[in-house]
Structure 1
Amino acid sequence: MFLFLAWLPWLVASLFSIYLLDLLAHARRRLPPGPIPLPLIGNLHLVGDQPHRSLARLARTYGPLMSLRLGAVTTVVASSRDVAREFLQKHDAVFATRLVPDAVGDHARNSVACLPHAPRWRSLRKTMATELFAPHRLDALQGLRSDKVRELAAHVARLASDGAEIDVGRVAFTTMLNLLSRTIFSRDLTSLDDHVGSKEFQVLVADITEASGCPNVSDFFPAIARADMQGLRRRMTRMFARLHAVFDAEVDRRQRRREDGDSRKESGDFLDVLLDVAARDGAKAGLDRDTMRSLFTDLFVAGSDTSSSTVEWAMVELLRNPSSMAKAHEELAQVIGMRRSIEESHIDQLTYLQAVVKETFRLHPPAPLLLPRQAQATIRIAGYMVPQGARVLVNVWAMGRDEGIWSEPDKFMPERFLGRMVDYKGGDFELLPFGAGRRVCPGMPLASRMVHFVLATLLNGFKWKLPVKVEMAGIDMTEKFGVTLTKAVPLCAIATPI
């Protein structure tokens, strides 16, 4: 004990010296400005459980390009349109590789979302772009999606006739899930009437996105990542296995039909396309069972959760802003009429509805920090050095509230997009819900169609109101942060036929 006390001052002095040398090295590297890191933890104490908000607050002090040390990892944050353009357009090649969370584990080996910017990623990305999300493919399967939204309208009508509360997020999620499963497998994975099954799938997908974005010691201290101290990697492995069992059953069923000589196609769905490509190109295609599992996981997790969350947030904002709700209803009545079913072809005529979706993307971007990228080389950005290996976050949530771009940025005001040539497809950097550059979300064409289609279906022919207790207390706007930004308290509302 005496020996330890004798060495203690030397130990403290040594650690303090190392800390000072680290701060000096930080200054010499010409990193972007940022808060002074504490020993060991760096700036982790400043992030909290709502990092999109805390990073936006820090950016007001340190500027739209700032650096933090999160544990042992240098992290650079872009919080403005101009800085985001530097990363995602001007120097996109340097930042085209994703930094993969440790919890994702083996899934990253075949995931289009996680693979590095390399030939295998380009091959899989090309397959998705040409065989699933190309306009002619989406147009060919339009009838399948129309069936699903008609089922949604009928389901809402039944609940409306009973005066029952409707869990908007759940019905939107179930519809999105089946829109995807019809496009990929030509069959439904659940139904709107199966409250237990659809809720279980929704909870599973929500748990995956939440765990993927959960603060993880392994990500902040890579040297101890193998220990998986929080057990997130083990937990994610179990959740992925549950999804893979569903996908394996679909692939096995289709392959048995083919082996039995049944040459009928399932409406030319994505699974048929993948099996055809794999049979034609063999190993060159790289479409083994593990790769298919990862593709389907990416599509269902990203497509169902983010799209349904956007619809739910849009309904929340419309219910909080009755004048906007009235304008949306008026436009639908003029374009479609009260007695007609909506079709995808109507969306182009619904300019106010499109503005509602853009405003929802601005205030509630599905991925508020996008997916993190990693610098592949040391590069100068806006006069500062971003070192090789640094993690890069683009805070699109903060960009949506930039007072230099948006007047009254915290106010829901779809009118700001009427007559304003701003889109969300990666060309206008003030609105980037799907990202930009090489890693822009490949599912954006389908997600855009589904969000507008489902939202229009919920509004067409129905008036909506809040339950009395919610109306008196006000809607709880608390967010639950993960890879996606979802509503912590589900929106339940009452529909009335118009």
Structure 2
Amino acid sequence: MIVVNSASIASKLLRNDAIISSRPTSSSVKHLAYNHQDLIFAHYGPRWRMLRKICALQLFSPKAMEDLAPVRADEVGRFVRELAGKGDREELVNLSEGISGCAADALSRVVVGRRVFGDGEESREFKDMVEEMMNLSSAFNINDFVPGLSWLDLQGLVAKMKKLHRKFDEFLDRVIEDHKARLTETADEVSGGGGGGRGRHNDLLSVLIEAKEEAHGEGITLTDADIKPLLQNMFAAGTDTSSNTIEFVLAELIRHPDLLSRAQQELDNVVGRRRLVAETDLPNLPFLQAVIKETFRHHPAAPLSLPRIISEDHQIDGYLIPKGATLLINIWAIGRDPIAWPEETLSFRPDRFLPGGQHERADVKGNDFELIPFGGGRRICAGMNLGMRMVQFMAATLVHSFDWRLPEGQLPEKLDMDLSFGLTLHRTVPLMVRPVARLEPEAYL
């Protein structure tokens, strides 16, 4: 196991990463991730390139992001109105739970064209299912290190993985069958109305279903068996990581009232107080974007990159990385690398990303290896554009729309920031706050 803890070594490995672009096999990949049939854990090769091409050109292209902007705006606006109502009643809100539910509903509408979660309880059950998947995937499993004992399942982890996989598989089956029924119903309505064509839904699952009819190079085609693993990737990776990051943005701003005030002032100057934030406002919010970059540095959604396997012996800085070794990039440690971040390394300082700051040109798109929350190289997160858009938009809207009051007697600087570590980072204690509306009443209508 090779662990990279510095930006300089990560840069040397990821700039030319063909020999470290495949994934190792493990119990969690076999039993939870459809045995390498998804995009995230697929082995590097023609099939992976086909799945990646579909994501880049059809699922997460700039046009797809623009087409689905009204869906994200509708869900975030709905959440804001719900918070405003609770704020009027001076209720404490579990913001962790609310953000997670909003992110899940927004993603489900983007992916399958409808909310797949009913009340808060159903959304909470899904979040628990995703968290269990992340925890099981990151748990130490003796079967992966002593394969001869795997038949015994000494820790009972494989049994838990199989049970969770069945739950996830049944959930995805329901989603796909419901979607197909709605496609058929729409096609019948169009045909009955004299249109003669089939109905087209503006969601990612419809795009995948239509992509089955196309060739994608190298003699590879998309099949029904590929769709469920891709949906699992989008639901599991898209909800947990985005909602956690948004929660950390709010928590850090609450801990630093001066930064919250600056962010709100910027938003007021750009947006005003008579409407909610629109996605078109985001490029005009450099300070808020700096806050989000600093949040990614301090609280990367995945503290360790997903594992890669070395396909041939490789020399780097005088060290031999042997063929067959597993490689991890320690994104959490790189964000605290004092060589990469010499100025107040452990302080939360968004100004480092503003003009005149040491990292004013740094972005999170995998080109600046001191800040790689989405990874880098060939295996960089395929859904980065959607994730960034959702984090920026929801964080901006929540910061702009409300002041945040902590429970009586709790000081901002004493806010509990303890973490639960796994494949993803979670705050251990839910963020309990009282939202106080700060916009004109018509903005919440």
TM-score by length of 2: 0.90
Match of 1:415 in 2: 351
Structure 1 residues 152 and 266: CA distance shift in structure 2, 3 A: farther
The equivalent residue for 1:482 is 422
Aligned to 2:204: 270
Q: 2:27 aligns with which of 96, 102, 123?
A: 102
What is the CA distance between 1:222 and its match in structure 2?
Answer: 3.6
**What per-residue deviation string (whole Å, max 9, x for no partner) do you get for residues 52-106 of structure 1?**
xxxxxxxxxxxxxxxxxxxxxxx1111111100122113x011101224312324
- 1:37 aligned residue: none
> d(CA) in 2 for partners of 1:79 and 1:223?
32
Q: Tell me the secondary structure at the aligned position of residue 97 of structure 1.
A: coil
Structure 1 residue runs without a partner (length 5+): 1-74
Equivalent residue, structure 1, for 2:141: 216
User: How far does the alpha carbon of each residue in 1:179-225 deviate from its partner, in whole angstroms, 9 at most, with x for none?
Assistant: 2111111101225xx22111111111111111111122123334433
Q: For residue 40 of structure 2, what is the amino acid of its counterpart?
A: A
Whether the aligned pair in 2 keeps the contact of 1:105 and 1:233 (CA below 8 Å) is no
How far off its partner does 1:471 sit? 2.9
Given residue 497 of structure 1, which amino acid in structure 2 is its aligned partner? A
User: CA offset at residue 237 of structure 1?
Assistant: 2.2
How many angstroms does 1:231 deviate by? 2.2
Secondary structure of 1:199's aligned partner: helix
Deviations 1:398-436 (A, max 9, x none): 111112222111111111111210001100000010000
Give the AA of the match of 2:316: I
1:239 lines up with 2:167 in the alignment: no
Q: Kindly tell me: are residues 292 and 172 of structure 1, through their superposed partners in 2, closer, same or farther at Cα, counting changes over 3 Å?
A: same
Kept after mapping to 2: 8 A contact 1:265/1:272: no
Pairing partner for 1:196 from 99, 121, 141: 121
SS at match of 2:365: coil
Q: What is the CA-CA distance between 1:240 and the residue it aligns to?
A: 2.4
SS of 2:404's partner is strand
1:317 aligns with 2:262: no
CA deviations over 1:342-395 (Å, ceiling 9, x no partner): 111111111111001100000001111111111111111110100111111111
Q: How does 1:155-174 map to 2 (within 5 A)?
A: 155-174=82-101
Structure 2 matches for 1:21-420, cutoff 5 A?
75-90=1-16, 92-106=17-31, 107-190=34-117, 194-259=119-184, 261-262=187-188, 265=199, 267-280=201-214, 286-406=221-341, 407-419=343-355, 420=360
| Distance (whole Å) between structure 2 residues aligned to residue 149 and residue 314 of structure 1 | 16
Native 8 Å contact 2:256 2:413 kept in 1: no
- Larger RCO of the pair (alpha carbons < 8 Å, separation 6+): 2
Instruction: Check the 8 A contact 1:144/1:183 in 2, yes or no.
Output: yes
Write the letter of the residue equivalent to 2:344: E
Q: Is the 8 A contact 1:363 1:397 kept in 2?
A: yes
Secondary structure of residue in 1 paired with 2:19: coil
1:216, 1:128 → 2: CA distance?
32
1:303 deviates by: 0.6
Q: CA deviation at 1:228?
A: 2.9
Q: Letter of the 2:166 partner, please give it.
A: A
How has the CA–CA distance of structure 1 residues 486 and 384 changed in structure 2, closer, same or farther, with 3 Å as cutoff?
same
State the AA in 1 paired with 2:382. Answer: P
- The 1:288/1:470 distance shift into structure 2, 3 A limit, reads farther
User: Residue 207 of structure 2 aligns to which amino acid in structure 1?
Assistant: V
In 2 relative to 1, CA 267–343 (structure 1 residues): closer, same or farther, beyond 3 Å?
Answer: farther
Alpha-carbon separation, structure 2, partners of 1:220 and 1:338: 57
Show the counterpart of 1:450.
390
The root-mean-square deviation of aligned C-alpha atoms, in Å, is: 2.0
Q: Distance in 2 between matches of 1:82 and 1:226?
A: 42
> Partner of 1:112: helix, strand, or coil?
coil
In the TM superposition, what is the alpha-carbon distance from 1:151 to its structure 2 partner? 0.5
Given that 1:105 and 1:237 are in contact with CA atoms closer than 8 Å, whether structure 2 keeps it comes out as: no
Distance 1:171 1:487 in 2: 14
The answer to whether the Cα contact below 8 Å between 2:20 and 2:309 also exists between their aligned partners in 1 is yes
- Alpha-carbon contact 1:359-1:412 (below 8 Å) kept: yes
Q: Which ranges of structure 2 fall in alignment gaps of 5 or more residues? A: 189-196, 439-445
> What CA deviation, in whole Å up to 9, does each residue of 1:10-57 have, x standing for no partner?
xxxxxxxxxxxxxxxxxxxxxxxxxxxxxxxxxxxxxxxxxxxxxxxx
- Which sits farther off after the overlay, 487-496 or 345-354? 487-496
TM-score (norm 1): 0.81
Q: 1:472 to 1:487 in 2, by over 3 A?
A: closer
Q: 2:314–2:321: 8 Å Cα contact kept in structure 1?
A: yes
**Post-superposition shift, 1:304?**
0.3
Q: Which moved more, 1:383-392 or 1:170-179?
A: 170-179
Conserved? CA contact 1:112–1:124, under 8 Å: yes
2:20 match: secondary structure: coil
Q: Is the 8 A contact 2:110 2:204 kept in 1?
A: yes
Question: Does structure 1 retain, via aligned residues, the 8 Å contact 2:23–2:43?
Answer: yes
C-alpha distance in structure 2 between counterparts of 1:294 and 1:395, whole Å:
26
CA distance in 2, matches of 1:472, 1:281: 55
CA distance in 2, matches of 1:209, 1:469: 34
Q: Is residue 102–residue 225 contact of structure 1 (8 Å, CA) maintained in 2?
A: no
Number of the residue aligned with 2:443 = none
Change (3 A) 1:472 1:136: closer
